[in-house]
A and B are shown apart, each in its own frame.
Chain A
Amino acid sequence: MRTWQFFLVSLAVALAVFFAARLYQNDYLFFAGYVVLQFIVLATAWNILGGYCGYVNFGSAAFFAIGAYTTVVMTKLPAFANRNLPPEIASFVGSITPPPIPVLIVLGGLVAGLVGLGTGYLTLRLRGVFFAIATLALAVVLQTLIVNWDFVGGSRGAYVIRPATVAWLGIGYIEYLFLVMLVLVVVSLTTARAIERSRLGYGFATIRDDELAAEASGVPTLRLKLVATTLSGAFMGMAGAPFPYYIGFLEPSSAFGLAYAVNAIAMPMIGGTTSWVGPLVGAVLLGTLQQLATVTISSAVSLLIVGLLLVFFVIIAPNGIIGWFQYFSSRKSTDLKEQPAPVKSS
């Protein structure tokens, strides 16, 4: 299936999911579903750098938070302009900010992507482990910066008013957020799949397999790693951009929450890192599991379960759930017309 075909098919599936959810007339479905969709994007984004290139990012929460806080800044701008700028400029600023959610998503992606690029540029010329450690430190530092920045509320947090409905679509706001996130899921999955099948995907696989040999074969490893870091960071930022509207009140401890760091890693590693299907499977399964556990037991216990599953899978089943499927089903060669996917399980 060509990329544009995949895009249309998944868009159709996404819309089907949306309309099916509307049939239930229960807002909770949208609230819970939004979280799962968010995780699909985060897991897919992480996997572009982690699964395809082999570089571990421990600071997914930081990129997610960048997207969220870019939105918060945008929502605070009208009031700021009113207080500090001449009336004509202030009213202009007030009319364009905060921009609609799709624009916020793009903005969040841009800023997060830039930060990803910067972090990568500083650390990717060294061993992968230093990049991983730098991402951990990045999350801590960014949180420190946000906590000290009063404009976005500092440690007290920031309120973001969510409109009740989206008039021109005639649906409730939470349904709108759900729909937006569905589209983002489609875009991220299509991108991941397109990468796998492209020249870029081969390049990523060689970086993961043997970076020295990749360089010797002519692969510009640093440049490709920067592409991966930027893309990965950007998608995480995009996932975070609508979050303040979803949650209504954003404080640093929830934006930088433990849940994002571990889930962004656990979901692709449990689902399987070698293809776009893995993060999807991992996110849907683990996301649903966590929603159930949070409601029935507690959120801390649900996180504990995720952590234990991560350790378990990493030891016992390194290729994840899709690795299990590949192991048990017979190996036939697939579509003869298209090039075989460059990323394979070992």
Chain B
Amino acid sequence: MDFPVQLFINALIAGILLGGFYAAVTVGISISFGILDIVNIAHPAFIILGSYIAYIANQRLGLDPILTSILVLPAFYYLGSLVYQVYYLSFEKRGQEALRGLAFFFGLLFVTEVALILVFGVDYRYVQAGYIDTTLRFGFFDLPLRMVVPFVVSMLMLGGLQLFLSKTFTGRAINAVAQDQLALSLMAADPIRIKRIAFAISIATASVAGALLIVIQPVEPSVGREYIGRVFAICVLGGMGSLPGTVIAALLLGIVESITSTFYGPSWAPAVAFGFLLLTLAVRPSGIMGR
């Protein structure tokens, strides 16, 4: 039996495109968890929120989802700011992040999902846009535009963020605050404000990621939970807070998931992420006691 090369290559391409999208989904966690050490497991909820907002704008106003997400960015940024403020005052200040901070974010994740179910029901929602049904063909390579466009947008967003983090004062301060809060405050930058900005940025990325998600696939409220394993697996494998690392890890996961999906069926996809997660956790030496 000859190896289905065509199928394999298309699965590979799909995996790369998917991985690019996963990077957009994960970059928020790379910032909030990788850099700031805040375990925001509610991140997927913000993404789904972004998806539904894009859906409404698309349905009512005919707006392109990605355009919507950019218009809504400031609102998400503000929301992230607010959430961090609550988190900081209730937990970080009191040193209670471990148990109660986690429960807080879990509560947010849960409330968002149930609220969406109440408002929109459990039916799948999708968007209409010119490029969604178009597929470019090169010989036997298939490039579905609904995957290519998110890939491109995602790479642009990550590139922009990487520039921001490495070239601007605020961006470098964000990296610094993770390592040495005291030194940062001595440099006349308020560490709390810097962390708030960083967290707000991470939630803002969810707006874009949500739009990309609903371009790629129809969404319903519980889709967010499938992504929790993925984003943390990618974040850890990618080196916790390194954006280039996030991209590489995301591509890797996308490829493995796509190939598994193509050859073994799509219902096994969540298990792939879990396997990845366990593998990445096992690879870290057991001598680590936190960072």
Contact = CB atoms under 8 A, between A and B. Distances in A.
Question: Are any A and B Cβ atoms less than 8 Å apart in their complex?
Answer: yes
B105 to A, nearest CB: 9
Contact of A126 (B232, B268, B286): B286
Interface string A257-300: 01001100110010001000000000000000000000000001
A136 B278 CA distance: 12
Contacts of B62: none
A123 interface: yes
Contacts of A258: 110, 113-114, 222
Contacts of B277: 133-134, 137
Interface string A279-323: 000000000000000000000110110011011001100100000
Interface string B230-257: 0010001000000000000000000000
A269 B113 CA distance: 20
Interface string A137-157: 110110011011000000000
Contact of B110 (A125, A127, A269, A307): A307
Interface string A47-86: 0001000101010000000000000000000000000000
A148 B267 contact: yes
A133 B270 contact: no
Interface of B is mostly: helix
Interface of A is mostly: helix
B1 interface: no
Interface string A109-138: 000000000000011011111101110111
Interface string B60-90: 0000000000000000000000000010001
Contacts of B225: 136, 140
Contact of B114 (A134, A145, A300, A315): A300
Contacts of B106: 56, 58, 262, 265, 310
Contact of A303 (B114, B278, B281): B114
A56 B278 contact: no
Contact of B108 (A58, A212, A311, A318): A311
B229 A304 contact: no
Nearest to B230: A137
Contact of A301 (B104, B110, B118, B273): B118
Interface residues of A, number: 44
B117 A314 contact: no
B103 A265 contact: yes
A140 B274 contact: yes
Contacts of A303: 110, 114
Contact of A140 (B110, B226, B281, B290): B226
26 contacts: A56-B102, A122-B282, A125-B286, A130-B236, A133-B39, A133-B41, A133-B228, A133-B277, A136-B229, A137-B228, A137-B229, A137-B274, A140-B226, A140-B274, A144-B268, A148-B267, A212-B289, A258-B113, A262-B106, A262-B107, A310-B103, A311-B107, A314-B90, A314-B100, A315-B86, A318-B100
**List of 5 A-B pairs having minimum Cβ-Cβ separation, nearest first:** A137-B229, A311-B107, A307-B111, A310-B107, A125-B286
Interface of A: 50, 54, 56, 58, 122-123, 125-130, 132-134, 136-138, 140-141, 144-145, 147-148, 211-212, 258, 261-262, 265-266, 269, 273, 300-301, 303-304, 307-308, 310-311, 314-315, 318
Interface of B: 39, 41, 86, 90, 94, 96, 98-100, 102-104, 106-108, 110-111, 113-115, 117-118, 222, 225-226, 228-229, 232, 236, 267-268, 270-271, 273-274, 277-278, 281-282, 284, 286, 288-290
